[in-house]
């Protein structure tokens, strides 16, 4: 393996600190002594120590990914990956890659979400001790994103109402700005219904998995 430059090692350590600050118990996992926490966080250790911690984190991610793969293999088939993607909030590509062994070292964001999902549907699957993601924090982020999206649909419907009044006044359809084709008078409503059905599905799935604990 090619030796890293001092600048690359410094960048590596900056990335490591970001991961450890987000998951502080990870420091224990990779053998950073508690009494040396401030030294590690406010200075740069030796090149050897940077590489040791870096590889320890990689090994930790591999172990966690393998545990997730084993659990997913019990409940998810290749054809079901898209459905479980919607339920877990992780892309179906990532789920398929983990199941097929193409991804043997997932990122912690994916690991945290899949651990939370598996913990919700498998009674014997425990969260990693340094996984700080909880149903409460996940719910806040997940449902807030959906709420924002629904609010945008409401804005689109307001715009549609204005355009509908314009159609009534002019007695003619609007034209597409791209090719000049006529736009269906219900296009705005159809688009809103499609989007709202998608958000409804996401909310129901979330509630079944994480609140009612009913995987459907």
Tell me what pLDDT residue 216 has: 44
| pLDDT tens-place values along the chain, 216 residues long | 568 899 999 999 999 999 998 888 999 999 998 888 889 999 999 999 999 999 999 999 999 999 999 999 888 665 677 878 888 889 989 999 999 999 999 999 999 999 999 999 888 999 999 998 898 999 899 999 999 999 999 999 999 999 889 888 888 887 777 777 888 899 999 999 999 999 999 999 899 888 887 554
Distance separating the N- and C-terminal Cα atoms of the chain:
47
CB contact at 8 A, 115 and 60? no
Pair of tokens at residue 111: 């690991």
Nearest-angstrom CA–CA distance, 107 and 98 = 11
Question: What is the reported pLDDT for 212?
Answer: 83
Give the residue carrying structure tokens 């009674």: 123
> Encoding tokens for residue 15?
């990335």
* Contacts for 179 with CB less than 8 Å, ≥ 6 apart: none
pLDDT value at residue 178: 79
| Cα–Cα dist 90/41, whole Å | 31
Q: How far apart are CA 16 and CA 32, in angstroms?
A: 12
How is residue 197 written in tokens?
């059905």
Q: How many Å apart are CA 53 and CA 9, to the nearest integer?
A: 12
Helix extents (H) in the chain: 6-22, 26-29, 37-42, 47-75, 81-88, 92-99, 108-121, 135-170, 187-206
């Amino acid at each position: 393996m090619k030796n890293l430059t001092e600048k690359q090692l410094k960048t590596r350590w900056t990335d490591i600190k970001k991961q450890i600050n987000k998951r502080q118990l990870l420091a224990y996992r990779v053998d950073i002594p508690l009494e040396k926490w401030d030294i590690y966080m406010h200075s740069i250790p030796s090149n050897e120590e940077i590489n040791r911690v870096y590889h320890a984190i990689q090994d930790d991610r591999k172990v966690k990914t393998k545990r997730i793969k084993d659990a997913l293999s019990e409940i998810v088939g290749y054809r079901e990956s898209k459905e479980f993607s919607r339920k877990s909030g992780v892309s179906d590509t990532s789920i398929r890659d983990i199941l097929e062994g193409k991804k043997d070292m997932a990122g912690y964001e994916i690991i945290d979400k899949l651990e939370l999902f598996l913990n919700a549907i498998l009674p014997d699957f425990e969260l990693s001790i340094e996984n700080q993601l909880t149903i409460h924090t996940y719910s806040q982020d997940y449902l807030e994103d959906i709420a924002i999206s629904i609010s945008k649909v409401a804005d689109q419907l307001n715009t549609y109402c204005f355009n509908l009044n314009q159609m009534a006044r002019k007695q003619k359809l609007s034209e597409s700005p791209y090719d000049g084709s006529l736009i269906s008078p219900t296009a705005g409503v159809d688009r809103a219904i499609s989007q709202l059905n998608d958000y409804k599905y996401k909310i129901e799935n979330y509630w079944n998995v994480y609140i009612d604990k009913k995987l459907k």
